[in-house]
C-alpha cells in the first residue's frame, strides 16, 4: 500500500508504508496522539494494538559487549537476548556513528541509552534514534580507571525526553586508606561537570575491579552503587552528598564470579561457585541504610541443567561448566544471562529452563573478560 504526497508543481511523491511507519516510529508520544486525527490509516497505525509494529516491545532485547583485551581491540558488538527480533532502526555500529575517531569504550548503559568514553570525552548515544550527544570534557583528571555510574530517566512521559546523570570517582592503584574521595558529577540539566571532594567519616580502602566479570553498577533513588574486588559495595548518595562502603557477609564472598545489578527497582547480588552453582540475594533494607539486610532468593546448579543436553548449548566437548560472566534482566529478576565457555545462556531460576542466546564464536579463554551492557528498547523512541 502506498500514499501520495502532492507537491506545489502538481507532481507527486509516493511514500511506502514502511517509510510512513519509520517516520511515525521516531515521533514522541505527544505528537503521535495528535496525529491520530490525520487519517483513518494513521489512526490504524498508531492506535491499533493488533498491528504488529506497535505492540509493546520487551524490556530487554539484547546486549552490547566489548573485549578490549582481545585481538578485536575496542570493537563494540551487539546480540539479541531472544529470537524475537524487533522491527525498528536499532543500530549497533557505535564505533562509526560516534564519529570520535579514537578508541571508544562503553562505560555504562541505562534505559535504552549508552554512555561511551574516549579518554576524557564522554558521549551519550541512543541506538534507536542514532542521536549522539558529546559532553564537555571532565574537570578532574583521573589517572587510573574511574568507577562510573549512569542513570537515564524520563521526566515528562508526554514528550519522551530524557534527563541523565553521570557520577564517577577514581580508585587509586595503591591500597592505602582513603580519607577523602574526589567525586565528579555531570547533569544534563546544567550541562556541566561538578567536582566534589568528600571527607570520609571512616577511612576506606578501595580496590580496582580489574578482574570484575561484569560492569556491576546500579542506581536506586539517587544512590549510585558499585561492586569492587574488596569485596565490598561502595555507595554515593547524590542527594545528600554522602559516600560510604559496606562489606558483604561471609557467605557472599566465597570467591568465584560475582555480579551486582538492578532489576525491578531492587538491588541483586549473584555469586557463582562450585561448577556453576549460582546463588542470588536481594537487598531487603533501604538503599541508604548502613545496616544492609540481604535475603537469599535463588540457588541453582546451572551445570546440572545444561549438561542434560549439552549439544543444545554448544557445550558437547565441555565437561567443565563454569560461569564466567553474569547479567540480570532489568525487569524480570528470575532471569539471568550467563557467560559459559564462550556462550551466553539465559537461565530462569523459577522454571529451571535454560536457552542458548548467543555464541561469541571464540574460545572461552578470549571471552571471559567480555562485559555485557543490557539494552532496553522502548515502544516510542526516547530523545536526548
pLDDT digits (tens, 9 = 90+) for 224-275: 999 887 778 999 999 999 999 998 888 888 677 888 999 988 999 999 887 7
Q: Tell me if 48 sits within 8 A of 54, measured CB to CB.
A: yes
Answer yes or no: do 233 and 341 share one domain: no
177 and 80 belong to one structural domain: yes
How confident is the model at residue 308, as a pLDDT?
Answer: 85
Q: Are 271 and 324 part of one and the same domain?
A: yes
Please give the helix or strand (H or E) that residue 96 lies within, else none: helix 94-98
Same domain, 122 and 262: no
Q: Tell whether omega for the bond before 246 is within 30 degrees of 0, i.e. cis.
A: no
Give the dihedral sign, CA 133/95/151/232: negative
Domain boundary among 40, 55, 70: 55
Angle between helix axes 17-25 and 40-47 (nearest 10 degrees) is 60
Collect the ranges in the chain with pLDDT lower than 70: 1-13, 18, 21-22, 25-34, 45-59, 67-74, 83-102, 144, 155-160, 173-175, 208-216, 254, 317-319, 378-383
Range of the domain at 27: 1-55
What pLDDT is stored for residue 310 in this prediction? Answer: 84
Q: Round to whole Å and give the CA distance between 349 and 334.
A: 5
Buried b (16+ CB within 10 A) or exposed e, 278-315: bbbbbbeeebeeeebebeebbebebbebbbeeeeebeb
Percentage helix, strand, coil for the chain under 3-state DSSP, each rounded to 5: 10, 45, 45
At residue 57, the pLDDT reads: 44
Q: Does one domain contain both 213 and 141? A: yes
Do both 335 and 311 map to the same domain? yes
Q: What pLDDT, on a 0 to 100 scale, did the predictor assign at position 33?
A: 65
Q: What is the pLDDT of residues 310-364, one digit of tens each?
A: 888 888 766 678 888 889 998 899 999 998 888 999 999 999 999 999 998 887 7
Closest-CA residue to 206 (of 188, 190, 230, 182): 230
Distance CA 274, CA 136 (A): 46
Is residue 313 domain-shared with residue 259, that is, in the same domain? yes
- Other C-beta atoms closer than 10 Å to the C-beta of 188 total 17
Whether 322 and 227 share a structural domain = no
DSSP string, 177-230: PEEEEEEEEEETTTTEEEEEEEEEEEEE-----TT-SS--EEEETTEEEEEETT
Specify which residues 182 forms β-bridges with: 197
Q: Which sign, positive or negative, has the C-alpha torsion 350, 356, 358, 360?
A: positive
State residue 98's pLDDT score: 46
Give the up-direction half-sphere exposure of residue 281: CA atoms within 13 A in the CB hemisphere: 19
Can you read off the three cell numbers belonging to residue 145? Answer: 580507571
Same domain, 212 and 282: no
In this structure, what are the phi and psi dihedrals at residue 176, rounded to the nearest 5 degrees? -70, 155
Instruction: Tell me: do 51 and 98 sit in the same domain.
Output: no
> Whole-angstrom Cα distance, residue 239 to residue 187?
13
228 is written with which cell numbers?
569492587
- Res 361: pLDDT: 85
| C-alpha–C-alpha distance, residues 261 and 272, integer Å | 14
210 and 293, same domain (yes or no): no
Which of the listed residues 55, 77, 101 is the one where a domain comes to its end? 55
Give the total number of structural domains in the chain.
3
Is 94 found in the same domain as 47?
no
**CB distance 248 to 293 below 8 Å:** no
Amino acid at each position: 500500500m502506498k500514499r501520495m504526497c502532492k507537491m506545489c508543481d502538481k507532481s507527486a511523491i509516493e511514500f511506502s508504508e514502511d517509510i510512513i511507519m519509520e517516520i511515525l516510529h521516531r515521533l514522541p508520544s505527544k505528537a503521535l496522539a495528535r496525529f491520530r486525527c490525520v487519517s483513518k490509516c494513521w489512526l490504524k497505525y498508531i492506535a491499533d494494538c493488533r498491528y504488529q509494529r506497535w505492540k509493546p516491545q520487551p524490556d530487554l532485547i539484547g546486549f552490547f559487549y566489548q573485549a578490549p583485551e582481545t585481538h578485536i581491540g575496542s570493537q563494540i558488538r551487539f546480540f539479541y537476548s531472544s529470537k524475537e527480533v524487533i522491527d525498528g532502526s536499532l543500530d549497533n555500529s557505535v564505533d562509526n556513528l560516534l564519529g570520535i575517531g579514537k578508541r571508544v569504550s562503553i562505560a555504562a548503559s541505562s534505559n535504552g541509552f549508552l554512555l561511551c568514553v574516549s579518554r576524557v570525552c564522554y558521549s551519550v548515544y541512543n541506538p534507536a534514534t542514532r542521536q549522539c550527544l558529546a559532553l564537555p570534557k571532565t574537570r578532574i583528571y583521573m589517572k587510573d580507571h574511574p568507577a562510573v555510574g549512569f542513570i537515564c530517566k524520563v521526566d515528562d512521559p508526554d514528550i519522551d525526553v530524557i534527563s541523565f546523570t553521570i557520577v564517577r570517582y577514581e580508585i587509586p592503584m595503591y591500597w592505602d586508606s582513603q580519607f577523602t574521595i574526589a567525586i565528579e558529577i555531570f547533569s544534563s540539566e546544567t550541562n556541566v561537570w561538578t567536582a566534589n571532594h568528600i571527607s570520609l567519616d571512616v577511612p576506606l580502602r578501595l580496590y580496582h575491579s580489574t578482574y570484575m566479570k561484569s560492569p556491576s553498577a546500579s542506581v536506586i533513588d539517587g544512590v549510585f552503587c558499585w561492586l569492587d574486588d574488596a569485596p565490598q559495595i561502595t555507595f554515593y548518595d547524590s542527594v545528600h552528598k554522602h559516600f560510604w562502603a559496606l562489606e558483604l557477609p561471609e557467605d557472599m564472598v566465597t570467591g568465584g564470579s560475582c555480579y551486582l545489578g538492578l532489576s525491578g527497582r531492587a538491588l541483586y547480588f549473584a555469586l557463582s561457585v562450585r561448577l556453576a552453582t549460582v546463588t542470588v540475594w536481594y537487598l531487603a533494607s533501604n538503599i541508604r541504610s548502613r545496616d544492609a539486610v540481604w535475603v537469599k532468593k535463588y540457588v541453582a546448579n546451572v551445570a546440572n541443567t545444561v549438561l542434560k543436553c549439552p549439544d543444545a548449548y554448544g557445550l558437547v566437548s565441555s565437561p567443565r561448566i563454569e560461569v564466567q560472566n553474569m547479567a540480570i534482566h532489568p525487569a524480570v529478576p528470575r532471569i539471568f544471562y550467563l557467560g559459559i565457555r564462550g556462550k551466553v545462556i539465559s537461565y530462569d531460576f523459577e522454571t529451571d529452563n535454560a536457552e542458548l542466546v548467543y555464541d561469541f564464536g571464540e574460545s572461552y579463554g578470549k571471552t571471559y573478560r567480555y562485559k555485557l551492557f543490557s539494552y532496553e528498547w522502548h515502544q516510542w523512541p526516547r530523545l536526548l
